[in-house]
Structure 1
Amino acid sequence: MQRPSVEGKPGKRFMAPMHAVTLEAERAVIDALFVE
């Protein structure tokens, strides 16, 4: 599973919350896939 790196990028302050939401979404999708 690829984990995009946010560190060292100019939009880190903006991307951090977005990245957290993305991780939550990926976790939900992965859980759904394993449940099926």
Structure 2
Amino acid sequence: MTHARETRLHDASNFDDFMLAAVSAMLIAAILVV
């Protein structure tokens, strides 16, 4: 978990892209479930 946290801190500039990917993945999962 510490390594993941450090990586996130180093990639803070890409955090928005990560959030977009996570949201889109959840939306796709929700559509597939429904």
Using the size of structure 2 for normalisation, the TM-score is 0.64
Q: Which aligned runs of 4 or more in structure 1 are off by greater than 2 angstroms?
A: none
Per chain length, whose mean CA-contact separation is higher, i.e. which structure has more relative contact order (CA < 8 Å, sep 6+)?
1
CA deviation string 1:1-36 (max 9, x = no partner): xxxx5x437x6132100000000000000000000x
**Structure with greater helix share of residues:** 2
Q: Please, which runs of 5 or more residues in structure 2 have no aligned partner?
A: none
Count of residue pairs brought into register by the alignment = 30
Using the size of structure 1 for normalisation, the TM-score is 0.61
